[in-house]
């Protein structure tokens, strides 16, 4: 390994700083490649740790290697083979494993072009459909994003032991049922990508509008989801991956306007649009256009297109509601879910008036589909309020209040209820 | 790696099939078995008689107790199995998805536990 500098060893502090920087930038890539080379998550994580420990020892003495990532991968690989050899003294069957690993050429085998594929392999393995959904999320945040179990537990209002157990079980299943470390084949790609996108969107939403708890948003988690989305677009620029990134950027652009200075919820129509992040909007809109031009887009792109129409409207009143209803019509064909129908009803109310919207919401509720969804009742309450049907508005707000789980939303509904004329 | 594909069907649904529907299901099964024998995945496989023929045996305190029927009543019943050799879980899922009953009932794919020789 060639040292990069020729003027002798660098000061220890400087090297430690360099190792930190390299850890942040490269540790997930190194891990993804080590999992492929070693065929085991646990072993790869130990190897990653050992490689960075060795870097801290040797780099101050020998100088930074020319290609730190390559150095870390091959050091990690050798450390893992050592570990297996040591364990083989107690379990002879491991000798074969060590020999097999040793025989595969660790030098040239993992050239640069393969490295980005390793990151995709890691993402698809963490989001394998044979793993339970909560494990997919935890494993992706742990292995792909490098979050600690404590951070994941905090983000999802869970406890570190619960999250740790979820991750341990998922890794055991990957090993025992032999879930392969692979990018899905062309035939399988669409359903498998859907799971990855769903996991990313779930992480984003948990950060954007936490499903329960005191605070409305958990910013870090949304940022993590956007980073993941960007990585996915970079590695696999499928239209729906682009559409999801657009959707997240456009939602994120409204964050500064979504809560008042007092931490209270502000509805889209009431938001101060000068607070919206124009840079994020510009990026989001460009991404939507890119996804739409592929003509192979799906629900994420359509939702992003709807968000883009909002983003480009100077005021709520000046929004092109007809276009939004049109986009919801297309979305409802692709994704005929009751939540899409509810959002469409709200858009129809803006285009045609509250009476038309109310008829649609009542039809959805009559089908019993969103009986327990607080937003269906609060949307109904809002339309009744605008129509002057105070008693109906009151009972719908009360129903929504009974179902809501998040404090800022509860306070918002409470305020609306109190504002109703006596 | 070896996997057992457990085939769960609703016996009620199966017994309500017409003769021609049943025959075409059976010929699908024969074709499927043929295909996985040719591809080298097949290690074994059998269909089971209906669940009314089942007997559950337990030994408690050295005493054998025998009861009629399966351990638990469920909507779908174990109706047969394929024992296969697959490259990995994705390969096994691929095979399982082609078992005709995957469309009617469900297939549980279980990896076989391998024990180290003492």
Cβ separation B87–A130 shorter than 8 A: no
With 0-12 CB in 10 A as exposed, 13-18 as middle and 19+ as buried, what is B70?
A: middle
Q: pLDDT (tens digit, 9 = 90+) per residue, B10-41?
A: 999 998 999 999 999 999 999 999 999 999 99
| C-alpha dihedral, A256 to A147 to A50 to A6, nearest 10° | -10
Q: pLDDT (tens digit, 9 = 90+) per residue, A226-244?
A: 999 999 999 999 999 999 9
Mean of the per-residue pLDDT values of chain A: 89
pLDDT attached to residue A369: 86
Closest chain A CA to residue B114: A176
Whether the per-residue pLDDT at A1 is higher than 50: the answer is no
The residues on A that touch B, with CB distances below 8 Å, are 93, 128, 130, 176-180, 182, 184, 188
pLDDT attached to residue A2: 45
Contacts A–B by Cβ distance under 8 A: 23
Q: pLDDT (tens digit, 9 = 90+) per residue, B34-67?
A: 999 999 999 999 999 999 899 999 999 999 999 9
Q: pLDDT (tens digit, 9 = 90+) per residue, A265-288?
A: 898 989 999 999 999 999 999 999
Among A93, A179, A184, the residue with its CB nearest the CB of B88 is A179
Cβ neighbours of B108 in A, within 8 Å: none
Helix, strand, coil tally for chain A in percent (to 5): 75, 0, 25
Whether the per-residue pLDDT at A191 is higher than 90: the answer is yes
HSE toward the beta carbon, residue A17, CA cutoff 13 A: 5
Q: For the CA atoms of chain B, what is the radius of gyration?
A: 16
- Give the β-pairing of B106-111 and B2-9: antiparallel
Cβ separation A93–B87 shorter than 8 A: no
Element (H, E) at A381: helix A374-386
Whether the per-residue pLDDT at A66 is higher than 50: the answer is yes
Whether the per-residue pLDDT at A96 is higher than 60: the answer is yes
Whether the per-residue pLDDT at A85 is higher than 60: the answer is yes
Q: pLDDT (tens digit, 9 = 90+) per residue, B54-106?
A: 999 999 999 999 999 887 778 899 999 999 999 999 999 999 999 999 999 99
Which residue would you say has higher pLDDT here, A158 or B2? B2
Measured CA to CA, the distance from residue B36 to residue B94 in angstroms comes to 11
Coil vs helix vs strand at B56: strand
Among A93, A176, A180, the residue with its CB nearest the CB of B90 is A180
Per-residue pLDDT band for A78 (boundaries 50, 70, 90) equals very high
Average pLDDT over residues A70-95: 88
pLDDT attached to residue A155: 80
Helix, strand, coil tally for chain B in percent (to 5): 35, 35, 30
Chain B from 33 to 92: CB within 8 A of any A CB: 87-91
Measured CA to CA, the distance from residue A3 to residue B76 in angstroms comes to 65
Distance from CA of A144 to the nearest CA of B (A): 21
Measured CA to CA, the distance from residue B115 to residue B118 in angstroms comes to 9
Distance from CA of A174 to the nearest CA of B (A): 9
Closest chain B CA to residue A185: B90
Measured CA to CA, the distance from residue A309 to residue B24 in angstroms comes to 53
pTM: 0.86
Average pLDDT over residues A211-221: 57
Coil vs helix vs strand at B78: strand
pLDDT attached to residue A219: 55
Distance from CA of A177 to the nearest CA of B (A): 5
pLDDT attached to residue B74: 84
Least confident of A87-96, A116-125, A138-147, A214-223: A214-223
Q: Is B93 on the interface with A (CB under 8 A)?
A: yes
Whether the per-residue pLDDT at A132 is higher than 90: the answer is yes
Distance from CA of A93 to the nearest CA of B (A): 8
Which residues have C-beta within 8 Å of that of residue A21, sequence separation ≥ 6? none
Per-residue pLDDT band for A113 (boundaries 50, 70, 90) equals low
Percent of chain A surpassing pLDDT 90: 70
Cβ separation B90–A182 shorter than 8 A: yes
Whether the per-residue pLDDT at A408 is higher than 90: the answer is no
Per-residue pLDDT band for A216 (boundaries 50, 70, 90) equals very low
pLDDT attached to residue A95: 77
Q: ipTM higher than 0.90?
A: no
Cβ separation A180–B87 shorter than 8 A: yes
Among B87, B111, B116, the residue with its CB nearest the CB of A177 is B111
Q: pLDDT (tens digit, 9 = 90+) per residue, A343-393?
A: 999 999 999 999 999 999 999 999 998 999 999 999 999 999 999 999 999
Percent of chain A surpassing pLDDT 70: 92
Closest chain B CA to residue A125: B90
């Amino acid at each position: 390994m060639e040292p990069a500098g020729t003027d002798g060893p660098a000061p220890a502090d400087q090297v430690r700083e360099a190792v930190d920087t390299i850890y942040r930038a490269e540790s997930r890539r190194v891990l993804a490649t080590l999992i492929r080379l070693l065929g085991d998550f646990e072993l790869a994580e130990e190897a990653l740790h050992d490689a960075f420990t060795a870097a801290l020892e040797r780099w101050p003495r020998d100088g930074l290697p020319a290609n730190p990532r390559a150095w870390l991968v091959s050091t990690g690989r050798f450390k893992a083979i050592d570990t297996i050899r040591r364990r083989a003294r107690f379990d002879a069957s491991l000798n074969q494993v060590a020999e097999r690993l040793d025989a595969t050429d660790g030098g040239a085998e993992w050239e640069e072009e393969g490295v980005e594929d390793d990151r995709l392999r890691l993402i698809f393995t963490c989001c394998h459909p044979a793993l339970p959904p909560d494990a997919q999320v935890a494993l992706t945040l742990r292995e792909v994003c490098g979050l600690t179990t404590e951070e994941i537990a905090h983000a999802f209002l869970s406890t570190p032991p619960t999250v740790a157990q979820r991750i341990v079980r998922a890794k055991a299943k990957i090993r025992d049922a032999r879930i392969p470390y692979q990018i899905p084949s062309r035939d399988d790609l669409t359903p498998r990508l859907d799971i990855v996108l769903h996991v990313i969107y779930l992480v984003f939403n948990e950060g954007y509008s936490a499903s329960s708890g005191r605070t409305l948003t958990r910013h870090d988690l949304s940022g993590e989801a956007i980073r993941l989305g960007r990585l996915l677009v970079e590695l696999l620029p499928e239209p729906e991956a682009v559409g999801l990134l657009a959707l997240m950027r456009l939602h994120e652009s409204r964050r500064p306007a979504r809560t008042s200075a007092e931490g209270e919820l502000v509805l889209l129509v009431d938001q101060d649009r000068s607070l919206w992040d124009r840079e994020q909007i510009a990026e989001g809109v460009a991404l939507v256009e890119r996804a739409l031009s592929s003509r192979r887009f799906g629900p994420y792109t359509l939702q992003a297109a709807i968000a883009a129409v909002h983003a480009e409207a100077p005021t709520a009143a000046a929004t092109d509601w007809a276009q939004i209803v049109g986009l919801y019509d297309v979305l409802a064909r692709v994704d005929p879910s009751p939540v899409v129908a509810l959002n469409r009803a709200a858009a129809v109310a803006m285009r045609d008036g509250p009476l038309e919207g109310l008829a649609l919401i009542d039809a959805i509720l009559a089908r019993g589909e969103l009986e327990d969804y607080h937003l269906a009742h609060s949307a109904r309450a809002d339309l009744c309020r605008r129509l002057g049907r105070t008693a109906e508005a009151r009972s719908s707000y009360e129903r929504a209040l009974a179902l809501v789980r998040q404090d800022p939303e509860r306070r918002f509904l409470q305020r609306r209820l109190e504002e109703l004329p006596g | 790696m070896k996997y057992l594909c457990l085939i769960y069907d609703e016996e009620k649904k199966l017994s309500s099939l017409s003769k021609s529907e049943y025959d075409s299901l059976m010929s699908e099964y024969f074709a499927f078995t043929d295909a996985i024998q040719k591809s080298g995945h097949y290690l074994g496989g059998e269909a089971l008689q209906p669940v009314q023929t089942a007997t559950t045996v337990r030994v408690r305190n050295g005493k054998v107790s025998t009861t009629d029927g399966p351990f638990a009543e469920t909507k779908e019943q174990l109706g047969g199995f394929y024992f296969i050799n697959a490259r990995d879980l994705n390969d096994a899922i691929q095979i399982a998805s082609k078992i005709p009953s995957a469309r009617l009932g469900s297939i549980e794919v279980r990896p076989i536990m391998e024990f180290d020789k003492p």
